[in-house]
Structure 1
Amino acid sequence: MFDNSRDLPDDLERLQTLRIWHALWLERIDRKAAELRRRQAQEERGRASRPPVPDWILELSRATGHPLAVHVGDCGMAGRRRRPVGQDEARRILATTGVPACPICRPDTSLHIAGLASPTMVALVRRPPRIGRRSQAKQLRSDHPVGDAKSLITCNDRQGRRTSTPLPTGRRR
């Protein structure tokens, strides 16, 4: 198959050049193959040393560290701050502390616990219901003793409290 001498040059100098060129390519190929073997071995060691996925996860608040929700171990909705918990502890947390179950992975169903916290995302966020700006302003204006409702500006101060201030004279809203 490769005995055909017509595809090779006739002089020794060009044959030596081809031999060096092919030797360099073989060395390059061998280096790349060794690098790939090393990388595959390293990934395999990483997979072997990776801790197993926990059965249950307790999601923690980023600000306070308090529990936010209980999740099944492979739930994608769990936040970054989490702590693995055992089955008994997950049951105890769901039943006694009032921490809600994730509405996506439903650990309460997997743990055979029924009728606990409502599985809504609002329960996970734990924010008070928002009132529209206009209704908040109307409420503040009606409670404010100074001036009529149209002459007040309502806004938040630095501590997050709602405040009302009179508009400058000559300008009505």
Structure 2
Amino acid sequence: MRPAHRPVRTRRLPALPHLPVKGAGRMEEEADGLAVTKPRRDHPAGLFTCRTIERMNDRPPSRLEMLRFAERVAAQHLAQIRRWREAEERRQAERAEGERRRPPAPDWLLEKGVDGRAPTYVHDGSCWSARKGPRCVGITREQALRALSVDRITPCPQCRPDAVLGVLE
């Protein structure tokens, strides 16, 4: 049983702290060589900035250092792309080897019943209605002739292997 409907109480969430805004503070040097950014009251975002610490002696990287860094990153990307290409080449070679090793499709199929023992149909190897799987077994032309003529197994009504083999009743 559901309780009676009560209004949901809500509460106000605390405000999220704001990230420092560039130009919102002025740099002051401390005794240990660190620069401390203090909020400025004349900047619109100055009241909401937090204190950040930066090294006074740090200089921005030179153009040459940035180009060397970009070169290292590009080399890493190129190495990764080469590894991907090599893996794809290996996959394609394995796929081609599997296709090469696959045995040829049988010319004739013998379909077994649901119990897996008694044969039910003889099919042409390219018959679309043959259930490819454990119930169908590949057989030779002689075995197909024997199954149709001697064992009297029913030919498939779609692919008509009896007409192809010349076994007409």
Question: Does TM, normalized by the shorter one, top 0.5?
Answer: yes
RMSD across aligned positions (CA): 1.4
**1:113 alignment counterpart:** 167
Which runs of at least 4 in structure 1 moved beyond 2 Å after TM superposition? none
Consecutive unaligned residues of structure 1, counting only runs of 5 or more, are 1-9, 116-173
Is 2:36 aligned against 1:36?
Answer: no
Which of 59-68 and 27-36 deviates more? 59-68
CA–CA distance in structure 2, aligned partners of residues 14 and 41 of structure 1: 41
**2:153 alignment counterpart:** 99
Matches within 5 A, 1:1-173: 11-79=63-131, 80=133, 81-115=135-169
Larger Rg: 2
Q: 1:44 to 1:70 in 2, by over 3 A?
A: same
Letter in 2 for 1:95: S
| 1:96 positional shift | 2.1
CA–CA distance in structure 1, aligned partners of residues 101 and 126 of structure 2: 18
Aligned pairs, how many? 106
CA–CA distance in structure 2, aligned partners of residues 69 and 40 of structure 1: 38
Q: What percent identity do the matched residue pairs reach?
A: 35
User: Secondary structure, in 3 states, of the residue corresponding to 1:97?
Assistant: coil
Letter in 1 for 2:140: G
CA–CA distance in structure 1, aligned partners of residues 75 and 116 of structure 2: 63
Residue by residue over 1:131-155, the C-alpha shift from the partner in whole angstroms, topping out at 9 and shown as x without a partner, is: xxxxxxxxxxxxxxxxxxxxxxxxx
Letter in 2 for 1:89: Q
Letter in 2 for 1:113: V
User: Secondary structure, in 3 states, of the residue corresponding to 2:66?
Assistant: helix
CA–CA distance in structure 2, aligned partners of residues 75 and 64 of structure 1: 20
CA–CA distance in structure 2, aligned partners of residues 31 and 88 of structure 1: 52
CA–CA distance in structure 2, aligned partners of residues 25 and 62 of structure 1: 56
Letter in 1 for 2:78: L
| 1:47 positional shift | 0.7
TM-score (normalised: structure 1) = 0.57
CA–CA distance in structure 1, aligned partners of residues 115 and 82 of structure 2: 52
Residue by residue over 1:59-78, the C-alpha shift from the partner in whole angstroms, topping out at 9 and shown as x without a partner, is: 01131411010011122211
Consecutive unaligned residues of structure 2, counting only runs of 5 or more, are 1-61
Residue by residue over 1:79-135, the C-alpha shift from the partner in whole angstroms, topping out at 9 and shown as x without a partner, is: 2211111111101111122211111111112112223xxxxxxxxxxxxxxxxxxxx
